[in-house]
């Protein structure tokens, strides 16, 4: 084979390894590189073990926190239920403040000797069932007095049709005479 090289001899690169290194230096360099690699992998293993132990510690702390979080969530849910109940009560009491006023008025107007057995108050209805111990003056006087007080009160009659008294039924309860009555609004 013919080789044509137009470069002068001094500029041509010589083949082969130009620097001759001693074999001891090469062996020591190789051992040093192996030692550095071994230390690197050993350090990497130590780092892995250290991070694994940190992970296990974090997982154990997380389990403890999960139990605490569960109890906190239960308390939080209980509080939210009570708040919802409280808001519902406030809403109902605000809507029913008129009904509450009517109950107070009925309580104030109830004379001695009359007791109420059934009481229904709605926004547009009223029904009272009660009984009266018959005094010597007659049951009609006490029942009519109670009915008159209710009929004349503006707050009781607000939103209701005309109040009416139903039939009065006399009965005996042992040795005492009792009259049962019903007061209701027309529907």
Q: Which residues pair with 169 in a beta bridge?
A: 180
Residues of the chain with pLDDT > 90, as a percent, come to 26
pLDDT of residue 187: 60
Q: Over the stretch 94-151, which tens digit does the pLDDT of each residue have?
A: 656 777 788 888 888 888 888 899 988 877 788 999 998 876 555 578 888 888 888 8
pLDDT of residue 182: 92
pLDDT of residue 43: 95
Indicate the residue among 73, 95, 117 that finishes a domain.
Answer: 95
Structural domain total, the chain: 2
Mean pLDDT of 66-84: 90
Work out the pLDDT band at 52, boundaries 50, 70, 90: very high
CA gap 156, 146 in Å, rounded: 13
Residue 118 belongs to domain spanning: 97-185
Residues with Cβ within 8 Å of 177's Cβ and at least 6 positions away in sequence, in order, are 133, 134, 139, 170, 171
- Which pair of tokens denotes residue 37? 């690699």
30 occurs within a structural domain: yes
Indicate the residue among 95, 126, 147 that finishes a domain.
Answer: 95
User: Is it the case that residue 93 has pLDDT exceeding 70?
Assistant: no
| Pair 132, 91 in one domain | no
Q: Report the SS3 class of residue 83.
A: helix
| Pair 101, 88 in one domain | no
- Which pair of tokens denotes residue 140? 């009609």
| Pair 87, 112 in one domain | no
CA gap 20, 33 in Å, rounded: 20
Q: Which residues pair with 114 in a beta bridge?
A: 132
CA gap 3, 22 in Å, rounded: 34
| Pair 74, 107 in one domain | no
83 occurs within a structural domain: yes
pLDDT of residue 40: 96
pLDDT of residue 163: 86
pTM of the predicted protein model = 0.48
CA gap 149, 110 in Å, rounded: 9
13 occurs within a structural domain: no
Work out the pLDDT band at 14, boundaries 50, 70, 90: low
């Amino acid at each position: 084979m013919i080789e044509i090289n137009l470069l002068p001899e001094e500029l041509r690169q010589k083949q082969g390894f130009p620097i001759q290194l001693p074999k001891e230096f090469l062996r020591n360099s190789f051992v040093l590189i192996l030692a550095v690699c071994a230390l690197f992998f050993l350090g990497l293993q130590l780092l892995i073990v250290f991070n694994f132990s940190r992970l296990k510690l974090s997982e154990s702390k997380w389990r403890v926190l999960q139990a605490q979080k569960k109890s906190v969530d239960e308390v939080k849910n209980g509080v939210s239920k009570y708040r919802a109940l409280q808001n519902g009560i406030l809403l109902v009491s605000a809507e029913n403040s008129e009904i509450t006023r009517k109950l107070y008025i009925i309580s104030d107007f109830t004379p001695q000797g009359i007791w109420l057995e059934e009481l229904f108050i709605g926004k547009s209805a009223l029904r009272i069932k009660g009984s009266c111990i018959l005094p010597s003056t007659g049951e009609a006087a006490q029942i009519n007095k109670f009915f008159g007080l209710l009929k004349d009160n503006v707050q009781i009659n607000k939103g209701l049709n005309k109040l009416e008294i139903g039939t009065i039924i006399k009965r005996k309860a042992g040795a005492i005479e009792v009259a049962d009555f019903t007061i209701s609004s027309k529907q």
